[in-house]
Amino acid sequence: MLAPNAPRVLIRTAATPADKDAAIRQAAQLLVAAGCIDPAYEASMLRREGVANTYLGHGVVIPHGMVDDRALVRESGLAVLQVPGGVAWHDGQDAHLVVAIAAQSDTHITILRRLTRLIQDEARLARLRTTQDPAEIAAALSEDAPAPGTAGPAADLPHAFTWTVDYPTGLHARPASAWVEAALGGSARIQVRHGAEVADAKNLIALLQLGLRAGDEAVISAEGEDAPAALARLKAVVTGLSAGEKAAAARAAEAATKAAAPVAGWNPADPCRIVSGIGASPGLAIGPVHVLGPTEVAVPDEPEPLTSGGDRLHAALERTAAQLKALADDTGRRLGQADAGIFKAQSDLIADTDLITLACQLMVEGHGVAYAWQQAVERMAGRLSALGNPVLAARAADLRDVGRRVLAQIDPALQSGHALPDRPCILLAPDLAPSDTAGLDPARVLGLATAQGGPTSHTAILARTLGIPSVVAAGAALLALPAGATAILDGTTGRLYLDPSERDLAAARAWRDALRATQEEEARERGLPARTRDGHAVAIGANVNTPDQVPFALAQGAESVGLMRTEFLFLERGDTPGEDDQYATYRAMLEALDGRPLIVRALDIGGDKQVPHLALPKEENPFLGVRGTRLLLRRPDLMEPQLRALYRAARDCVPAGAPAGKDAPLSIMFPMITSVPEVAALREACERIRAEIGAPEVPLGIMIEVPAAAIQADALAAHCDFFSIGTNDLTQYALAIDRQNTELAPEADSLHPAVLRLVRMTCEGAARHGRFVGVCGGIAGDPFGAGLLAGLGVHELSMTPRDLPAVKARLRAASLDDLKALAERACAQPDAAAVRALDRASSGAAEARP
């Protein structure tokens, strides 16, 4: 039976048009004869073929007129020409069902929806190509398929069971996607009914739209050949997930309780919601939270032929699915299968047939692929969020998120950036790329909290450099916090307090002010050398990447730059800086330092510092791959311009008024060294380039960042002029903890005795050859850590400029003998917590400052 206002369906079976144009004309004549179109619409249909290919797929074509000629349509109608022998259409594709459409746009979508559904039913389509019964074709094109999750009889199928939802957080995406997977395992039709609402169990969005909550009753029913077995399989999955769902809810509740326990430092007096992570950059920030979302990108509507558009959409969906699979695998390894399920559910969302059909329909209507996809995602997400159910609203956010991934695959130019609010805020983000963090403005970003990441990640390091109090590894709950709510972020204890009382806000402001007063006191003496009470001087440098940061570092008390991370010259721009650009930067650094020493680290690309424009091969384990020196030795096109720029700066930047024979105070060091031959190869390259340029010799140092280098420090010391210990990486490689791993972040402590012993070995190895040892990893900027390093025999500490005054104050208050004894005790401790306990015991401080 036809639905009311259904278009007329005119059918000619066993047609044998000579070619495509003849087929279009014959179909158009059927429509003309039935009074559906003005005869001029035929020409419009032929014109359309010239600008778009109307081949829909599987032998179905849909000729229709130009949009501007809609006025020539008198009545909606379909003319179907069945061509059993096929007629050549486009690019070697044969059409067997020519479905000429005369319709206004809303009817058009309905027809295409039916057709795209029909295309998915191969067997039926095969019958329609040869049937001699026009009624069979008419029926296929007239049946109105139910809208996802809404229509369908509220009656159950023959085999059924009833289940009361016992998942504490209802049927959310993770379990729903497991249901879909089980339902897809067989050919039986399975539906889930909740009251009058029915959903296809093979359709994730439809299932989610049921909005099942704990305690709801659902009837799950099936029909078809293997229905009883399929239902039994699904039942096992449905009920089997209950225990895991309950355990997950219990874990969340337990974590919430733990997160509320008082910490050493600032604590609220009144109850409020607490989200816990790890402190990554100290200080208190007070302000409204803002969840970092991508900016809206304007997606242009650029129509293209359906076939190539379809291919592009297909390829983009495939690439996104592969990306999500990699993310799920990676997350599964790092955080466990429960979290990996988020990405699994996201892949199910983009595989949803209704979503893809909708996008195809929009493309068939003449819209561009990117535009059609974005519209389809928006409509589906809109439907989900309009239901007023928070679980579904979150799925809408997931759908938009994954939709953006696909969009970026369709056209990389549609990649969305980040949008920041105008007023100062505490920024909440899933994670930030180091280059995004580097671009943050501390005047607008009062505090930063990320769901992922670790305290030694480059993002955390940059946040410290910028002086932005930061928390990392706070978990996904962070991103669901209400935008604009007032929060207190404590970057020392790693906590975020949401909606604190007025009393707590006042107390937090007082604490923040007291902290500032302590810092000011330390700052007053920051210009003095870091000389211990018994007269031992420790050299103090700053980790600074650009010349404009030098004055601030010097004002904080830096005596030199102990680490210039040059990869940021590459990360912060969209192309590779040339030799002259680099030369200008190194020269400007030397000039800004005005005769003070500068250690420039050669490019350390790889690990978490990926430079998209270099298009380096993707690695399974980038931290264990071609990173740092390994890349430099393989890519002379990257290393040599940098070395040339450095030697030119050394040659040209002898400080004014320097005594004759005094060279520029520049040193070069190389990251991620593991072996003596690497150092030999680097020295050879340096010497060749130096001779070419006619530059003076400069000290060549290496970073000690892998246990192999620390253990072989004595051998390496024979081949280089100095060491700089990168404790961030040394910690990650010694403890086998990815420095960005959220789950393990609390254990990735550079004060672990194993790391301290490697530092001790490095100092001993260097001492055999009289080499200078610095530390430029994050622990050098921790006052207690700095004391231990000095006690272990480190000569220089280089840190984020903001850490300088407190480190200097602590060193000046100690004696070298005490520090040596403390360092020995630290190396003998069983774990990092025991080492940190020595701090409290030695300083008598039970509480964090102030």
Catalytic site residues? 64, 172, 458, 776
Q: Which is nearer to ligand PEP, 451 or 730 (CB)?
A: 730
Main-chain dihedrals φ then ψ at residue 275, nearest 5 degrees: -110, 125
Q: Does 727 bind ligand PEP (CB under 6 A)?
A: yes
Paired tokens of 553: 């570092």
Q: Which stretch binds ligand PEP (CB under 6 A): 45-53, 115-123, 162-170, 724-732?
A: 724-732
Q: How many CB atoms lie within 10 A of CB 122?
A: 10
Q: Does 565 bind ligand PEP (CB under 6 A)?
A: yes
Q: Does 839 bind ligand PEP (CB under 6 A)?
A: no
Q: Which is nearer to Mg ion, 375 or 731 (CB)?
A: 731
Q: Does 780 bind ligand PEP (CB under 6 A)?
A: no
Q: Which is nearer to ligand PEP, 125 or 542 (CB)?
A: 542
SS (H, E, C) 188-229: CEEEEEECCEEEECCCHHHHHHCCCCCCCEEEEEEECCCHHH
Which residues lie across from 223 on neighbouring strands? 189
Which residues lie across from 88 on neighbouring strands? 94
State the helix-helix crossing angle for 134-142 and 122-130, rounded to 10 degrees: 140
CA distance 192 to 210: 9
Q: Does 221 bind ligand PEP (CB under 6 A)?
A: no
CB 769 within 8 A of CB 718: yes
Q: What angle do CA 120, 121, 125 make, to 5 degrees?
A: 115
**Smallest distance from ligand PEP to CB 329, Å:** 25
CA distance 228 to 245: 26
Q: Which is nearer to ligand PEP, 429 or 599 (CB)?
A: 599
**627 contacts which partner out of ligand PEP, Mg ion, none, CB within 5 to 8 A by kind?**
none
DSSP class of 666 = E
Within 753-772, which residues bind ligand PEP (CB under 6 A)?
A: none
Q: Does 728 bind ligand PEP (CB under 6 A)?
A: yes
Q: Does 782 bind ligand PEP (CB under 6 A)?
A: no
**Smallest distance from ligand PEP to CB 538, Å:** 17
Contacts 24+ apart (CB under 8 A), 266-270: 266/488, 266/490, 266/492, 266/493, 266/507, 266/508, 266/511, 266/848, 268/488, 268/497, 268/500, 268/501, 268/504, 268/507, 268/508, 269/501, 269/503, 269/504, 269/507, 270/500, 270/501, 270/503, 270/504
Q: Which is nearer to ligand PEP, 82 or 642 (CB)?
A: 642
Q: Which stretch binds ligand PEP (CB under 6 A): 190-198, 414-422, 721-729, 828-836?
A: 721-729
- With CB under 6 A as the contact rule, the residue among 726, 783, 801, 805 that binds ligand PEP is 726
Q: Which is nearer to Mg ion, 411 or 705 (CB)?
A: 705
Least Cα distance to 558 among 593, 532, 531, 584 occurs for 593
Q: Is the peptide bond before 805 cis (omega within 30 degrees of 0)?
A: no
Q: Which stretch binds ligand PEP (CB under 6 A): 115-123, 340-348, 706-714, 727-735?
A: 727-735
CB 130 within 8 A of CB 69: no
**Smallest distance from Mg ion to CB 727, Å:** 9
What's the distance, Cα to Cα, between the start and end of the chain in Å?
80
Secondary structure element (H or E) that encloses residue 276, with its range: strand 273-276
**Smallest distance from ligand PEP to CB 664, Å:** 23
Least Cα distance to 52 among 39, 67, 40 occurs for 67
Q: Which is nearer to Mg ion, 212 or 775 (CB)?
A: 775
CA distance 15 to 1: 26
**709 contacts which partner out of Mg ion, ligand PEP, none, CB within 5 to 8 A by kind?**
none
**727 contacts which partner out of Mg ion, ligand PEP, none, CB within 5 to 8 A by kind?**
ligand PEP
- With CB under 6 A as the contact rule, the residue among 42, 69, 245, 729 that binds ligand PEP is 729
Q: Which stretch binds ligand PEP (CB under 6 A): 139-147, 227-235, 720-728, 759-767?
A: 720-728
In this chain, which residue has its C-beta nearest to ligand PEP?
Answer: 726
Q: Strand 530-531 and strand 495-498: pairing? A: unpaired
**Which residues of this protein are in contact with Mg ion, per CB under 5 A?**
705, 726, 729
Within 460-499, which residues bind ligand PEP (CB under 6 A)?
A: 461
Q: Which is nearer to Mg ion, 224 or 622 (CB)?
A: 622
105: exposed, middle or buried (Cβ count in 10 Å: 0-12, 13-18, 19+):
exposed
Q: Which stretch binds ligand PEP (CB under 6 A): 273-281, 421-429, 723-731, 818-826?
A: 723-731
Q: Which is nearer to ligand PEP, 425 or 759 (CB)?
A: 759
Q: Does 604 bind ligand PEP (CB under 6 A)?
A: yes
CB 9 within 8 A of CB 49: no
**Smallest distance from ligand PEP to CB 438, Å:** 13
**Smallest distance from ligand PEP to CB 754, Å:** 15
**795 contacts which partner out of ligand PEP, Mg ion, none, CB within 5 to 8 A by kind?**
none
CA distance 682 to 702: 10
Q: Does 738 bind ligand PEP (CB under 6 A)?
A: no
**Smallest distance from ligand PEP to CB 812, Å:** 24
- With CB under 6 A as the contact rule, the residue among 354, 504, 705, 738 that binds ligand PEP is 705
**211 contacts which partner out of Mg ion, ligand PEP, none, CB within 5 to 8 A by kind?**
none
**777 contacts which partner out of Mg ion, ligand PEP, none, CB within 5 to 8 A by kind?**
ligand PEP
DSSP secondary structure, 103-148, as one string: --HHHHHHHHHHHHHHHT-HHHHHHHHH-S-HHHHHHHHH--PPPT
Binding residues for ligand PEP, per CB under 6 A? Answer: 461, 563, 565, 604, 705, 726-729, 776-777
